[in-house]
Amino acid sequence: MNLPKRVEIMESGPRDGIQNEKTFIPTEQKLQLIHALGETGIKRMEATSFVSPKHVPQMADADVVYRNIDQKPDLQYLVLIPNKRGFELAREAGAKNLALVAGASETFNMKNVRMSVEESLHQLSLVVEEAKSEDMFVRFSIATSFHCPYEGIVAEETTLNMVKTLETLEVDEIVLCDTIGRANPHQVYQLFSKTLDLGTKAKVTAHFHDTYGFSKANSLAALQAGITSFDTAIGGLGGCPFAPGAAGNDSTEDFVFMLNEMGIETGIDFEKLMDCVILVKEMTERRLTGHLQQVRGGSLKQRV
């Protein structure tokens, strides 16, 4: 197997993980989770998102959350912004690391941000230009890189053309997202291999959901293609408000466990990560999909 010696993990739980929760999670609990995750050795996380509270009520406290994070100097805290207004709010809060997103699928993008893909890329290109002029880090996710819940399979060329466009914008990171968890390992290997063949200066990251139980197989395919950066969410939390049927993200603890078993380094303290699962279980009514917390069962509670 062609596998890397080390993998970097972006923890998406505090943002992508909880954005779809129906019951509002108190700000104090969000901060508790963020700080606990920061003690695990994780070096990157999506902390919150500056989106319309009308469309994503769970993120209504984004400004308060971000301003009250006791930020560790060696940890990158990113915030999602959907548009220029979100950028302005994030900047006012002091954010320096931005996460932007646009869909490869026209229908998904229209339902997500009520703009065509071309309109999204034009508006967000202006945000990228301004952010880079202020020396901000810009990460850009391509939602529905593989499949769209409305249009079906997304052509490889469509996603690759978006990658090329983002490279011209000089973003720092490009994320290919299996937003509805419908990709298979063959698709994943092919698309990531072709993306890396483009020789982008931007870091290329994989983002998988586990709707059909393929997230680990897809992660392995991405690893073999040469990807060393992955998005995951503690407890397997997640889902997209604009992608019907999308299940949670690939579970951070399960992915770290798998990598550990394969001798691939992450720099993450697994037991501290499992302590974070306890926090997640207490702050959400959702049944967590991570396998490790099911295997350990009651022993999770005993560690409190």
Query: Which residues are catalytically annotated?
Result: 240
Residue reference for tokens 């308060």? 64
Q: Is 299 exposed, middle or buried (0-12, 13-18, 19+ CB in 10 A)?
A: exposed
Exposed/middle/buried for residue 303 (C-beta within 10 Å: 0-12, 13-18, 19+): exposed
The helix/strand/coil state of 140 is: strand
Q: Assess contact for 189 and 224: CB atoms under 8 A.
A: yes
Rounded to whole angstroms, the Cα distance separating 202 from 149 reads 27
Contacts of 195 (CB under 8 A, 6+ apart): 159, 160, 163, 174, 176, 204
CA distance 107 to 4: 36
The SS3 call for residue 227 is coil
